[in-house]
Amino acid sequence: MKKIPLSVLVYVFLQYVIFLIVIFTISEEAKMVKMSDLRRWQDWFYFFWLFVLPLLIDFVILGLPTWIALCKMSTVSNRILFYFLFLISFVVEYIFAQSLYGTQSAMIKVGICIALFFLLFGKRLKKGNIKPNQ
């Protein structure tokens, strides 16, 4: 049971870090924040607003539904609900990312979310034996 929350936390954090790496790689406008740039409380607030708050919202949008679904998915009807829940989660994630980053970046973010989701949880989905003790 303890593996599921940890794997969900790793999933959300990893998809966010990979997304930031991709954005910093492909965008000329993206700038890395250095500790020396954070001098005033307004700088810290801006840093929190741009980097920490979206991560916390990702935990709510993707992390909670993933954790709930992985804990509850053991029957066929629960699996159908699980797939529907993830479809809704990815749509909400796209809408949230589009409002923050724009359409192209939102598609990249959701693409990373889906790819990483199947990479981390695909084996459990394929076996169809997701139970709380895994």
Would 45 be classed as within a structural domain?
no
- Exposed e or buried b for every residue in 91-113, given b needs 16+ CB within 10 A? eebbebbbeebeeebbebbbebb
Would 26 be classed as within a structural domain?
yes
Q: Is 125 exposed, middle or buried (0-12, 13-18, 19+ CB in 10 A)?
A: middle
What's the pLDDT score for residue 55? 86
What's the pLDDT score for residue 18? 92
Q: How many domains does the chain have?
A: 1
Would 101 be classed as within a structural domain?
yes
Per-10-residue mean pLDDT of the chain, 134 residues long, equals 75 90 83 77 84 86 79 67 79 84 86 88 66 45
Residue the block writes with tokens 């991709």: 22
Would 113 be classed as within a structural domain?
yes
Would 41 be classed as within a structural domain?
no
Give the domain extent around 86.
3-30+53-127
Would 40 be classed as within a structural domain?
no
Would 74 be classed as within a structural domain?
yes
What's the pLDDT score for residue 132? 45
Would 104 be classed as within a structural domain?
yes
What's the pLDDT score for residue 130? 47
